[in-house]
Amino acid sequence: MKLLKRLFKTFLILIILIVGILYFFQEKLIFNSSTLPQNYEYQFTTNFEELFLKAKDGAILNGVHFKQENPKGVIIYCHGNTGEVDEWGKWGEELSNRYGYDVIVWDYRGFGKSTGKRRQKRMLDDGYLFYEYCKQFFNSDEIVVYGRSLGGFFATHIVKNSNAGRLVLESTPMSLLKIAQQEYPFLPSKYLLKYRFQSNQNIKRITVPTYIIHGTTDELIPYENGVGLFELSTAKIKQLFTIENGKHNDLGDFEKEYSTALDEIFK
């Protein structure tokens, strides 16, 4: 009997420790970020301008603006959870040159050169800084907001409260809570999670043309997330591009299917 009580007490303490660690260190689990020196120089071959936009709380958000001579419009690219502008900028540069759009790629707080304390609302609202920046040079209907994976939360947040022209989502989760419940089914994620990013709620309020790209064998953000967002979308013009056998990080390997999707969206 004493042994059972001791084992139960040990188990209880272990659970409390695990819950405590997940609660207080969840940022490190959610945001797989690394920093860049403030004097780091980006190396891109396309004409670009480096941006430093200041938020109301003093945070500085860093990004790069790739420029075309006669752009069709501008794409605000909200990148995934791993990597910074120095890496994602390569894809932004390719998008810009391939389709003739200006492209802006920016880093969230704690990524790359971007600074500031992480708080859900502040982080999401940072995206508006880049939307407002774009409005200096483009009409609202010429602004496309493109979110990949984690970036989909930022993209849907920008579009739901703006007059952006189009929304593109790639491998985007319906909500962070659903992902937490999927990864940690034994924990009360509903009560532990401090970041309630939820594209499934945002997309109900978005009526601009919406395009969703998702792989059927995505091991991190299951395909059902893309289908769910498509079904919840209230946009009159919407399309789901299914990449058969595509995983989370290899959609570009399916050159025909992936390029066909992007061609239809941007050409």
CATH of the domain at 228: 3.40.50.1820
Name the strand (E) or helix (H) holding 103: strand 102-106
Are residues 125 and 241 part of one domain?
yes
Residues 81 and 7 in one domain: no
pLDDT at 181: 74
Average of per-residue pLDDT across 83-102: 97
Residue 193, pLDDT > 80, answer no
| H or E, element range at 78 | strand 74-78
**What pLDDT was estimated at residue 184?**
67
Please give the structure tokens belonging to residue 43: 């190396």
Computed over every residue of the chain, the mean pLDDT equals 90
Residues 10 and 105 in one domain: no
**3-state SS assignment for residue 130:** helix
Q: Which of 76-90, 95-109, 165-179 has the lowest mean pLDDT?
A: 165-179
Do residues 25 and 38 both lie within one domain?
A: no
Within this chain, do residues 6 and 73 fall inside the same structural domain, yes or no? no
pLDDT band at 189 (very low <50, low <70, confident <90, very high): low
Residues 2, 88 share a domain: no
**Given this model, what pLDDT does residue 40 score?**
97
Same-domain status, 232 and 175: yes
Are 154 and 212 found together in one domain?
yes
**CA–CA gap between residue 240 and residue 225 (Å, rounded):** 11
Domain co-membership, 80 together with 2:
no
**The total number of structural domains that make up the chain:** 2
Q: In this structure, are 135 and 197 located in the same domain? A: yes
- Say which amino acid occupies 162: S
Backbone dihedral region for residue 58 (phi beyond 0: left; psi -120 to 50: alpha; all else: beta): left
Strands 143-148 and 74-78, by their bridges, are parallel
Question: Looking at the structure, do residues 116 and 193 belong to the same domain, yes or no?
Answer: yes
pLDDT of residue 29: 65
Q: For residues 43 and 52, what is the distance between their CA atoms, to the nearest angstrom?
A: 17
Q: How far apart are CA 175 and CA 179, in angstroms?
A: 7
In the block, tokens 């941007």 appear at 266
Mean pLDDT is lowest, of 101-115, 136-150, 176-190, 225-239, for 176-190
> Is residue 149 domain-shared with residue 190, that is, in the same domain?
yes
> Please, which pLDDT band fits residue 10 given cuts at 50, 70 and 90?
low
Q: Is 237 helix (H, G, I), strand (E, B) or coil?
A: coil
Residue 150 has pLDDT above 60, yes or no: yes
In this predicted structure, what is the pLDDT of residue 131? 98
- Residue-range definition of the domain harbouring residue 26: 1-30
Average pLDDT over residues 221-232: 97
User: For residue 24, what pLDDT is reported?
Assistant: 46
The string of pLDDT tens digits covering residues 19-41 is 555 554 567 667 889 999 999 99
Question: Does 9 have pLDDT greater than 60?
Answer: no
